[in-house]
Amino acid sequence: MVKIKIDEEACVGCGSCVDDCPNDVYKLDEKKGKSTVVNEEDCMACLSCHEICPAQAMEHQDIHVAKRLYIDRKVNEVIRKIL
């Protein structure tokens, strides 16, 4: 099953993930002013929340990671050398 972690220190509480998710996986905790996971079992791991989150505060665990053929292997080699 998908596990979602939100880095509360990084989350800015903008609510973008709440608006974006079609399955209402997130809810804005008004007291904390942070996004929280309320419906994890309905997450389909599309990761559009990752793309929209300005703080990159999310982490999805145990998901099917789609192939990334669009990244050139030569680019990966360069990145690996830099890192």
User: Of the listed pieces 3-11, 27-35, 67-75, which binds another protein according to CB under 8 A?
Assistant: 67-75
- What is the total count of residues that contact another protein (CB under 8 A)? 22
For another protein, which is the closer residue by CB, 10 or 44?
44
Tokens for 74?
Answer: 């030569």
Angstrom distance (rounded) from CA 3 to CA 59: 8
Subset of 22-51 contacting another protein (CB under 8 A): 22-23, 39, 41-42, 44-48, 50-51
